[in-house]
Amino acid sequence: MEPTLAQVIEVVRESSGIHRKPIDSNTWIEADLHICGIDGEDLLEDCEEAFGVQLATEEDGYRKTFSLAENEYLFTGEGIDFFGICRFIRWVRGIPEPVIRDLTVGELHAVLVKAVKEQVKHE
């Protein structure tokens, strides 16, 4: 059975501990709810468990599921780059700046619905 938006919002609330802030389909997971780094990964794992789907693969991680480009990521890291050392090293090595593609709760819901449909089709 496909997850409803209300069910996805409930998983987001339980995973993040955010119970008082209003959450709807247009709520940004990182910008509005401040879910990033490991907390973001935990949220996706909680969604996988709650809806019985697999969003990440060993070879592609979340890239295929969320249609991420080579230098796109879902969440910013939680570390601190003192003095811009990491940015400088990326520049010296010619590695493009990572692009964070923040998701809305509605986009997460759509991905979960698609994952459930794919799983049902393969069973």
Packing angle of the helix pair 105-122, 37-51 (nearest 10 deg): 40
pTM of the model: 0.81
Over the stretch 62-110, which tens digit does the pLDDT of each residue have? 888 998 888 888 888 655 555 666 666 666 777 667 678 889 999 999 9
What residues pair up with 57 in beta bridges, in sequence order?
61
